Amino acid sequence: MASSKSEYAFYSPIPSGLNNPQPQQNVVVLTHYRPTPHYCCGRSLRLCISITATILLLSAAVFFLYPSDPTLHLARIKLNHVRVNASPKPTLDLSFSLTIRVRNRDFFSLNYDSLKVTVGYRARELGFVISDGGHVRARASSYVNATLVVDGLEVLHDVFYLLEDLAKGVIPFDTDTAVDGTLGVLFFKIPIKARASCEVYVDTNNQTVVREDCYSE
């Protein structure tokens, strides 16, 4: 039976490209790369190691190159003579021979202008001697000899203490050693100072040093 209404079929137009097909194109979609946690940890660890190594190297350079004062040491002390004169007034005759070691701890040479050694009794200066300047190589030591002679020194202020020490047979003396100089660091001259003090106990019977107590300042 024929339908009362005409049936029509609708079709999409045929693309014109079908007659001339174009070459097929492939599209590649790349996702964002995220490094794995293991890679991040390894990179951070290497960075931390590099920073730590740099800090250690700089600290070592500062430690070894930073200038420091030399050290002084009373290497030898010899009593030549000591005598107390009671007439006409109390006086003291004294003579010491000393050897001072100047040690340069730096990696640069040291030049010192002079070295002064002072001898005292009960915080009172009796006399001093000044030696000539010298040169100390890097990381080396130099020895300086000095002789101190005191004759006819009045000891009116300390005569009672001196008589008491003479009765004991031991007289305590103070020695103070100081050095001034310059340290040659590249093109610079850096002033330095060093000082060492000692307490020297002298036996008046056999004219010898029985004990030394030294410390650096």
Supply φ then ψ for residue 21, to 5 degrees.
Answer: -60, 135
Answer whether the bond into residue 88 is a cis peptide, omega within 30°.
yes
* Residue 53 belongs to some domain of the structure: no
* Residue 189 belongs to some domain of the structure: yes
Range of the domain at 137: 71-216
Q: Among the ranges 37-41, 152-156, 190-194, which has the highest mean pLDDT value?
A: 190-194
DSSP-H helix ranges across 66-182: 159-168
Contact status, residue 192 vs residue 181, Cβ threshold 8 Å:
yes
Tell me the pLDDT tens digit for each residue of 18-50. Answer: 455 555 555 555 555 555 555 556 667 777 777
Q: What is the dihedral of CA 69, 75, 81, 86, to 10 degrees?
A: 40
* Residue 61 belongs to some domain of the structure: no
pLDDT above 70 for 5:
no
CATH of the domain at 120: 2.60.40
* Residue 96 belongs to some domain of the structure: yes
Contact status, residue 184 vs residue 135, Cβ threshold 8 Å:
no
* Residue 49 belongs to some domain of the structure: no
Query: What integer pLDDT is reported at residue 105 of this predicted model?
Result: 85
Report how many domains make up the chain.
Answer: 1
pLDDT band at 107 (very low <50, low <70, confident <90, very high): confident
* Residue 28 belongs to some domain of the structure: no
The answer to pTM > 0.75 is no
**96-109 mean pLDDT:** 88
Query: What integer pLDDT is reported at residue 160 of this predicted model?
Result: 83
pLDDT band at 102 (very low <50, low <70, confident <90, very high): very high
Upper half-sphere CA count for residue 43 (Cβ side, 13 Å): 6
* Residue 22 belongs to some domain of the structure: no
Q: What is the three-class DSSP state of 22?
A: coil
Tell me the pLDDT tens digit for each residue of 196-208. Answer: 999 999 888 888 8
* Residue 147 belongs to some domain of the structure: yes
Tell me the pLDDT tens digit for each residue of 157-189. Answer: 777 888 888 889 999 999 999 998 887 766 677
Please give the structure tokens belonging to residue 119: 């001898």
